[in-house]
Chain A
Amino acid sequence: MTTSSQTSRLTDRICAANKAGRKALIPFLPGGFPDRESFWTHLAALDAGGADIIEVGVPFSDPCADGPVVEKASIQALEMGTTLKWLLEGLRERAGQYQAELVLMGYLNPFLQYGFEKLADDAVAAGVSGFIIPDLPLDEDAPYRAILQGRGMSLVPLVGLNTDLERMQAYAAVSTGYVYVVSVLGTTGARESFPAELADALARARKAFDLPIALGFGIKEPAQLAVFGDTIDAVIFGSALITHVREKGSVDAFMARWA
């Protein structure tokens, strides 16, 4: 691995799924959604249902890279009293209970106000393997990446249809874990089809990164994946899962479709 001296648990987990002949499954669920108690039930069900990595959302009042489904779920979680502190404490109490690796996904400001070093320490204690921070691009991420990687965690990069090879290579030089390829020029949310340029973006990502490629944004059902073949290693789904939970569907049933 050229990207880091340490082996990331996130990388290992995706590679293990691929060796078993399947794409790694990465569900996203906002912390405290749909309410604080049900969240823990759903998290356990995602884990039992075969998730390889679970991205736990840290709700923010102004999630400007997310579509309406995630935004509404985030606001609902905030109204239910979700805080980063509550989430980290809950995870720490349950540390070791989950088969899946855990990643915290959230906007920078709540992390900053918590205190980033303290956040990193508490995240390690809570069993977290990495972070995704959608409003922290490469140009700004160095001090934060150093704090996370210094504690053996990853800062997962997001790249998209308009990220050129050079930029992907710059991310690749410093990143660990996996690379999150955003499938559309847009925000999160289920879509019927993918743009034609996606194949090129995936090819650039494969060339730039030694890390596994996870595809996210707009994915709602397994049938959508057939077209991608070996160009992706993992699949991320958020809005579709949130909508399923909102409609009182069971997480077990949702995960069974993907297994």
Chain B
Amino acid sequence: MKKGYFGDFGGQFVAELLIPPLRELEHALKTIVPSPEFQAEFTALLKDYVGRKSPLTLCPSLSKELGFNLWLKREDLNHTGSHKINNTLGQALLTKYMGKPALLTETGAGMNGVATATAARALDLDCIVFMGATDVARQSHNVRRMQLLGAEIVPVQNGTKTLKDAINEALRYWIAEQRTHHYCFGTAAGPHPFPTLVREFQAVVGREAREQMLEKTGELPYAVVACVGGGSNAIGAFHAFVPDAGVRLIGVEAAGTGEKGCFNSAPLNLGSPGVLHGQMTMLLQDDDGQILPSHSVAAGLDYPGVGPEHAHLHASGRATYGTVNDAQALNAFMRLTRAEGIMPALESSHAVAWVLENRDQIPRGANVIVNLSGRGDKDMDIIEESLGSLLGQQGSKG
């Protein structure tokens, strides 16, 4: 297979000026990451700083109702509240080993920005975060967290002023500052070697979940379900299970409002192949190859592309990808919150919602793992706004 490809997807579609830092990173991925010193230091950080391993929690109440066992891989319990920290600590540590003093990154909802700013503090690196001006306005809480952590925030005024434009600007900045800055790419997407590098650091999720499932039930799960924006939590959850042919891998994309023709974040289901941000992948685009705006109530899924390995798993059929709309995700948020006392991020709520909406496809007594990629308190404003009426209705049943 061609270098940096997953089947027909992936590659390195970047300006020539970015080839040297990508080559440097490829070399670091091959030589530094597998070294015992790096692995020992990374494992210690995951254990003592992030709080790994994260639990695999059975949902007793929902499981009883559904007729099968719903397990949650609790990435929401990580330091900073999501799976993002696994990747940012890995890349920050790699940055130290590469001898660079600073990180740059992009963020949409702000979770990757917070996780990167945190990793920068933990490992004494400078940090600059590019964030679409629209996202800066709607995620002000995370902006303040990043500022408290000492990161410099650059609001991006170009294009749609959201995540894709933040990535454009981060790539531009990296061209100019490649000698001092490592681009801590936030998801398992972008030019090679980022999709592989990020998967490497997120694969701990699936490795732990597989062991935990075997320990608790003595068997492999019927299915592993995860939400997919760029797809880092999903590829992390799936990776250890890919060789287990009997385990269904189910990614869940955001369908937006779900109306026909609405803006969505479901390029695997509703998009077509193309090149954006250094990768050949599935994209939301018009007939002329211009990238379309995306939408999801979950800002962390709001991206018009998807990591190339998911495009490949989709094309090969090893994983399947469903969709969940905003209302279904909000409903799942409430169901999990009320039934189990666990408040999922709106991103993770999409994965929970897929299970609730597709319960008829799952055999009685099966074990289903949902990767609960993040916690929901970051979404309070959106949830209160969107669920105002629903809260009133469900309050009496609660």
Contact = CB atoms under 8 A, between A and B. Distances in A.
B277 A113 contact: no
Interface string A134-162: 11111110000000000000000111111
B65 interface: no
B17 A160 contact: yes
B159 A109 contact: no
B19 A137 contact: yes
B143 interface: no
Contacts of B172: 64-65, 67, 186-187
Interface string A67-86: 11001100100100001110
B287 interface: yes
Contacts of A135: 13-15, 275, 278
Nearest to B4: A139
A113 B289 contact: yes
Nearest to A187: B172
Nearest to B167: A64
A187 B13 contact: no
Identify whether the interface residues of B are mostly helix, strand, loop, or mixed.
mixed
A163 interface: yes
A114 interface: yes
A78 B289 CA distance: 12
A106 to B, nearest CB: 10
Contacts of A109: 274-276, 283, 285, 289, 291
A64 B16 contact: no
A165 B15 CA distance: 17
Contacts of B275: 107-109, 112, 135
A110 B285 CA distance: 10
B168 A64 contact: yes
Contact of B276 (A62, A137, A138, A186): A62
Interface in A160-193: 160-164, 167, 182, 184-187
B287 A137 contact: no
A68 B169 CA distance: 10
A111 interface: yes
A230 B172 CA distance: 30
A136 B11 CA distance: 10
The interface centre, meaning the residue of A61, A72, A157, A162 with most chain B CB atoms within 10 A of its CB, is: A61
Contact of A158 (B15, B168, B176, B276): B15
Interface in B133-170: 158-159, 164-165, 167-168
B397 interface: no
Interface in B1-48: 3, 11-17, 19-20
B288 A137 contact: no
Given A65-B172, A112-B289, A185-B178, A160 B16 contact: yes
B175 interface: yes
B171 interface: yes
A60 interface: yes
B57 interface: no
B337 interface: no
A186 B175 contact: yes
B290 interface: yes
A55 B173 CA distance: 25
Interface string B291-327: 1000000000000000000000000000000000000
A60 B16 contact: no
Interface in A178-222: 182, 184-187
B277 A64 contact: yes
Nearest to B21: A162
Nearest to A107: B275
Interface in A39-64: 60-64
A67 B176 CA distance: 11
B356 to A, nearest CB: 35
Contacts of A65: 15, 17, 171-172, 175
B12 A61 contact: no
A137 B290 contact: no
Interface in B172-197: 172, 175-176, 178
B13 A185 contact: no
A136 B164 CA distance: 19
Closest CB pairs A-B (n = 4): A113-B289, A110-B289, A65-B15, A64-B168
Given A62-B164, A134-B16, A139-B3, 15 more contacts: A60-B289, A68-B158, A71-B159, A84-B288, A109-B274, A109-B285, A112-B275, A137-B15, A139-B11, A140-B11, A158-B15, A158-B16, A160-B17, A167-B19, A186-B176
24 contacts: A60-B290, A61-B291, A62-B291, A65-B172, A67-B172, A68-B158, A71-B158, A75-B158, A75-B159, A84-B289, A107-B275, A108-B13, A109-B291, A110-B288, A112-B275, A113-B289, A134-B16, A135-B275, A137-B12, A137-B15, A139-B19, A162-B17, A185-B17, A187-B176
